[in-house]
């Protein structure tokens, strides 16, 4: 397995918060954006600043700020949220869109730097089943082909952790933000007592993304996000089970009421043919994907489609369907169905169907 110091540095940047730089970390101006912060202490501090509570003397903390109190930018405010819609004489905050709440695309949703945020779904699936487990992983590189079959169970457990953080707000004159993200997903043979319950596969994915908010209409959809990033993904194993690749990925996001679509084409950064663990990975795990998210009555439905964008014997792809729904408090039920190639890196050229059932704490973005 090759060393990737840049990838490790990106992962550490997410997991180890740095000291905020006040010049890059302006106070938020909209209380709605505070809801997207995952850390309880940071979220409470955000609410205090957005309402003017943080600037009050200790004896006045229980009272609402006066209606003519200046907002955090020194302008006369209303003492509540700074962006509101008038309905029947009352001020009602307009909800942020999914992409805006997660990526802080508009001025009123900016929360500064080094806040830990959710990225991809965070979940635990005690049951993750397939009828076609990959017991003999292989690759065109002979050094990455297993010589004998493994005794693997068809039912295992799967879990995923995924976080991101903005490390630079206001790139290129204030129009963009630099984010770093880290995703880790594991497949655990927890019911396999014969092999002492090993972890079958863990994928590590640090990345850096430059994200811009956009404002245009296309076929009834609002173009909301444009991004470009560098992504590293590997399984941290030695030969013959080592798998890894590096990509440059574009993100193009659209929204309409209750719907979000993200187009993600990518280009694989070439590696030496002699040392490449998986030289044909783009013909299986694809050269791009489309993700569709629909929110409905507290539930979230997701569909991901991926393809190699090639024909003939190089035409391969995958589809994944996810469904999350409220259970209790912040805990949600979660179901995942995957069909095709590349459910994990070790299975990049293995075609199978997987079904998982469990709980989630965070959904997409």
* Structural tokens at position 92: 């009602």
Burial of 315 (0-12, 13-18, 19+ CB in 10 A): exposed
For 31-70, b where at least 16 C-beta lie within 10 A, e where not — what string? bbbbebbeeeebbebbeebbbbbeebeeeeeeeebeeeee
Query: Cβ–Cβ contacts within 10 Å for residue 319, how many?
Result: 14
Compute the residue count for the chain. 365
Q: Which of 185, 234, 242, 360 is catalytic?
A: 234
CA–CA distance, 32 with 166 (Å, rounded to integer): 18
CB 167 within 8 A of CB 178: yes
CA–CA distance, 285 with 307 (Å, rounded to integer): 7
Is 234 a residue of the active site? yes
Q: Which of 232, 307, 316, 350 is catalytic?
A: 232
Residue with tokens 């006040």, as numbered in its chain: 22
The catalytic residue positions are 232, 234
């Amino acid at each position: 397995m090759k060393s990737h110091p840049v990838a490790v540095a990106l992962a550490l940047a997410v997991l180890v918060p740095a000291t905020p730089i006040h010049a890059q970390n302006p106070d938020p101006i909209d209380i709605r954006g505070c809801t997207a912060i995952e850390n309880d202490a940071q979220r409470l501090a955000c609410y205090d600043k957005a309402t003017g509570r943080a600037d009050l003397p200790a004896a006045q903390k229980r009272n609402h700020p006066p209606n003519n109190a200046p907002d955090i930018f020194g302008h006369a405010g209303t003492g509540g949220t700074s962006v509101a819609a008038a309905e029947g004489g009352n001020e009602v905050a307009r909800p942020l869109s999914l992409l805006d709440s997660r990526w802080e695309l508009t001025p009123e949703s900016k929360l500064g730097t080094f806040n830990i945020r959710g990225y991809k779904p965070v979940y635990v699936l005690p049951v993750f089943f397939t009828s076609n487990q990959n017991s003999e992983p292989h690759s065109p590189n002979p050094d990455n082909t297993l010589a004998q079959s493994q005794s693997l169970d068809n039912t295992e457990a799967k879990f995923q952790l995924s976080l991101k953080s903005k490390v630079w707000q206001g790139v290129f004159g204030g129009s963009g933000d630099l984010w770093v993200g880290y995703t880790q997903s594991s497949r655990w043979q927890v019911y396999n007592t014969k092999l002492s319950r090993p972890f079958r596969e863990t994928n590590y994915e640090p990345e850096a993304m430059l994200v811009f908010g956009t404002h245009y209409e296309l076929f009834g959809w609002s173009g909301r996000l444009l991004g470009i990033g560098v992504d590293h993904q590997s399984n941290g194993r030695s030969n013959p089970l080592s798998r890894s690749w590096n990509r440059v990925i574009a993100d193009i996001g659209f929204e309409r009421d209750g719907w979000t679509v993200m187009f993600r084409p990518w280009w694989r950064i070439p590696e030496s043919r002699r040392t490449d663990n998986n030289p044909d990975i783009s013909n299986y795990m694809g050269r791009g994907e489309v993700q569709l998210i629909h929110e409905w009555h507290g539930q979230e439905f997701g569909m991901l489609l991926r393809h190699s964008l090639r024909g003939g014997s190089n035409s391969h792809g995958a589809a994944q369907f996810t469904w999350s729904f409220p259970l209790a408090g912040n805990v949600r039920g979660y179901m995942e169905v995957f069909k095709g190639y590349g459910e994990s890196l070790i299975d990049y050229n293995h075609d199978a169907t997987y079904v998982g059932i469990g709980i989630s704490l965070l959904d997409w973005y």
